[in-house]
Amino acid sequence: MLLVIDVGNSNTVVGLYEGEELLNHWRVRTVADHTIDEYGMLILNLYRTSKVGSKTINNIIISCVVPSMLNILEPLCKKYFHVTPLIVGPGIRTGMPIYYDNPKEVGADRVVNAVAGHEKYKGDLIIVDFGTATTFDFITKKGEYMGGCIAPGVVIASHALFEKASKLPPVELSRPKSVVAKDTVSSMQAGIMFGYAGLVDGIVDRIKKETKTESTVIATGGLAEVIAPETRTIDFVDEMLTLEGLRIIFLRNK
């Protein structure tokens, strides 16, 4: 059994694989000031209450964009699962050349997504990850990571709107009936939802033009299914892309 852990700035996603099959997965908040035992009991309880909780976890791989979380997760894996985890970072074998000025600057999640995307979809790819930040990455059909761009995430932008504008309330991220809205909440929803759809389409169009490709566009991340239907450029939504990438990288380093 392989436990895969993807630590993002807002959420941590945990998956459980047997061979190529994803048996179960969970999404929890990333809380950097939790103790080793708090996180250990949380993950252990999720695992034990699953249908496969009687099976043994033999291996663990972690991708993490919150460095302080590794100080929790590494000892947690040893204490609760008796496993030394594989950490996605410099020196790990990904099977993918990274053409970034400083490859060490590329977030582990972006590399993992790129590996999974190329393995699963082939061809030229643009991967859009809707996380705390919204990232765009271009991967060639040869399996080369070429770079990309980073924009503020949907939730960050939404929070900034009501935090900085005193008369605007917090709103749920859902599709309004019309872009010409008739009330404040719907107006904010229209601006956020359709605005982000426009941002995605605009950046994807620019990447395709600059790279002279008709890349397949894959969306992943917690809000992918919310934003993707409002775009015209996203071809597929694959929420488990990062977990699949972790599984593939683990096998390449086994």
CATH of residue 31's domain is 3.30.420.40
Among 112, 158, 155, 152, CA closest to 135? 152
Does residue 126 sit in the same domain as residue 231? yes
From 58, 87, 116, the end of a domain falls on 87
What confidence score (pLDDT) does residue 50 get? 84
Report residue 109 as tokens.
């999640």
Does residue 134 sit in the same domain as residue 198? yes
What confidence score (pLDDT) does residue 225 get? 92
Does residue 82 sit in the same domain as residue 195? no
Asked if 137 and 110 count as a contact pair (C-beta separation under 8 A), the reply is: yes
Q: What is the dihedral of CA 155, 157, 162, 168, to 10 degrees?
A: -110
* Active site residues per annotation: 109
Does residue 68 sit in the same domain as residue 110? no
What confidence score (pLDDT) does residue 220 get? 96
What's the CA gap between 128 and 234, in Å, rounded? 9
What's the CA gap between 60 and 84, in Å, rounded? 7
Among 251, 236, 203, 213, CA closest to 93? 251
Strands 59-64, 86-87: pairing is parallel
pTM of the model: 0.91
Residue 24 domain-assigned (yes or no): yes
What confidence score (pLDDT) does residue 194 get? 92
Convert the pLDDT of each residue in 165-180 to its tens digit.
777 777 777 788 888 9
What's the CA gap between 90 and 7, in Å, rounded? 17
Residue 45 domain-assigned (yes or no): yes
What confidence score (pLDDT) does residue 211 get? 97
What confidence score (pLDDT) does residue 101 get? 92
Phi, psi (degrees; rounded to nearest 5) at 52: -110, 20
Domain housing 197: 103-246
Asked if 152 and 134 count as a contact pair (C-beta separation under 8 A), the reply is: yes
Low-confidence residues of the chain: pLDDT under 70 = 54
Does residue 154 sit in the same domain as residue 35? no
From 87, 111, 144, the end of a domain falls on 87
From 34, 57, 87, the end of a domain falls on 87
Convert the pLDDT of each residue in 33-81 to its tens digit.
899 999 999 998 888 888 787 678 999 999 999 999 999 999 999 999 9
